[in-house]
Amino acid sequence: MKSDVKPSVCVVGLGYIGLPTAAIVARSGCKVHGVDVSSHVVDTINRGEIHIEEVDLDGLVQGVVSRGLLKASTEVAPSDVFVIAVPTPFDANHAPDISYVLAAGEAVAKGLKSGDTVILESTSPVGTTEQLRDLIAHLRPDLKCPGLTSETPDLSIAYCPERVLPGKILEELTNNDRSIGGITPRCARKALTFYKLFVRGTCVVTDSRSAEMTKLVENAYRDVNIAFANELSIVADQMGLDVWEVIRLANRHPRVNILTPGPGVGGHCIAVDPWFIVHGAPEHTPLIRTARGVNDGKIHHVIQHAEALIEANPQAQVACLGLAFKANIDDFRESPARLVAVTLARKYGARIKVVEPYAAELPKEFAGTQAELIDIDTALEQTQLLIVLVDHDQFKAVPLAERLRHVVYDTRGIWLDQPKGDQRGAGKLQLAS
């Protein structure tokens, strides 16, 4: 790949990471071919539109599509660089499922030629990049693969995980540092040349297994720290303390920075990736496993408290505020708020209203519950009990006078200006007068 010649790029998987990546790469001047199994996604992108919610992504996609730099299809096209950004879920036993990665690798293998670069971005268990390499070597014995030949390999294969915050994906794809792990140092250098086309952050080269572990460690670290905050909220509830006040005071220590508790942990990263480490070393990961248990258990703690409030107010109509796994996005994957809301809807039926500004309709699991999707103004007018599950900016803007007209269960601590004695924290049950 000559530095003065922009490579053609094929991005496999056009979801929350793949589409922004494809658009950013296209903005750098590369011709990008996006691939997705969904014809709806393909058609939407080819119209210059988007199927996900992300700040400034709509304008970027419209621009690169109109300039002919990005097009989408359901089939892989010959390219110089292939970027795989497909899901890596886990099964019922928390074992990682890399079948989507291997299926993408199989599709990519068909179109490979000598000199191509294959980069896996999907969050993956340690060793997945090598498995991808082995699959390609099996399917394309005519191509020499890195690490399996004593000669100069025909392909470069590397791993480079994303490191982004939903709502700031475009900014962080460009400015955040990247860890680029090659099957060999030569592979890492080849991938580095590609990422320097559009990444302003520092690109650090390493081996593929270290890069894979780095991604898992980053999210496990955050999960453990969130678990500490969530466990504190449960302890504070038991002791009759205001957890928000305790954390605020503790964080005045110069070396203490306790995170914000909430209804649990969601998303396809923090709620999933720690299990990949546990699966790889089950006898040596008691802390990571326990943190996962604490954060999953916090969801049920919130459900119990919400049910207690609803039972104590049998005539009240209830509004669950938020379904997304975090604020100001439309991503509901592994969302604790979604589980809390649907559990209450199945138990209390039509009494439950849901406010989610990033949803046009309720997810399919709400079918038959009689729960209704409404806006925040309708909720303030028609309901008497508010359960805050997501800290969307829209909810933060609700005036104090409106909140004082309701019984409030704030699991996110966004309304800390509630007068003392009113319900404020994730672990307290005092009711507003």
Dump pLDDT digits (tens) for 160-179: 999 998 889 999 999 999 99
Model pLDDT for residues 67-79, shown as the tens digit of each residue: 999 999 999 999 9
Residue 424 has pLDDT above 50, yes or no: no
Lowest mean pLDDT among 245-249, 250-254, 415-419: 415-419
Confidence at residue 373, expressed as pLDDT on a 0 to 100 scale: 98
Q: Per-residue pLDDT for 421 more than 80?
A: no
H or E element in which residue 251 lies: none
SS3 (DSSP) at 386: strand
Distance CA 321, CA 310 (A): 15
Identify the band that residue 3 occupies on the pLDDT scale cut at 50, 70 and 90. low
Characterize 186-214 residue by residue with b for buried, 16 or more Cβ atoms within 10 angstroms of its Cβ, and e for exposed: ebbebbbbbbebbbeeebebbbbbebbbb
Please report which confidence band the pLDDT of residue 53 belongs to, taking 50, 70 and 90 as the band edges. Answer: confident
pLDDT of residue 418: 75
Annotated catalytic residues are 215, 269
pLDDT score recorded for residue 433 = 25
pLDDT in tens, 336-361: 999 999 999 999 999 999 999 999 99
Whether the pLDDT of residue 189 is over 90: the answer is yes
Helices (H), ranges, 5-98 = 18-27, 39-46, 57-66
Structural tokens at position 55 = 């700040």
Smallest CA-to-CA distance from 164 within 217, 230, 215 is with 215
Q: What integer pLDDT is reported at residue 420 of this predicted model?
A: 56
425, pLDDT greater than 70? no
pLDDT at 122 over 60: yes
Q: Could you give the percent of the chain with pLDDT greater than 90?
A: 91
- Over the range 374-389, which residues count as b (16 or more CB within 10 Å of their CB) and which as e? bebeebbeebebbbbb
pLDDT band at 416, cuts 50/70/90? Answer: confident
pLDDT at 428: 37
In this predicted structure, the answer to whether residue 318 has a pLDDT above a threshold of 80 is yes
Mean pLDDT estimate for the chain: 94
Average of per-residue pLDDT across 96-118: 98
The pLDDT, as a whole number, for residue 423 is: 46
Q: Is 68 helix (H, G, I), strand (E, B) or coil?
A: coil
What order of strands is seen across the sheet that includes strand 9-12?
70-73, 32-35, 9-12, 81-84, 117-120, 156-159, 178-182, 203-207
Vertex 355: Cα angle to 354 and 360 (nearest 5): 95
The larger pLDDT score, comparing residue 417 to residue 270, is at 270
Q: Region 173-189: what's the mean pLDDT?
A: 98
309 token code pair: 């409030």
pLDDT for 55 beyond 60:
yes
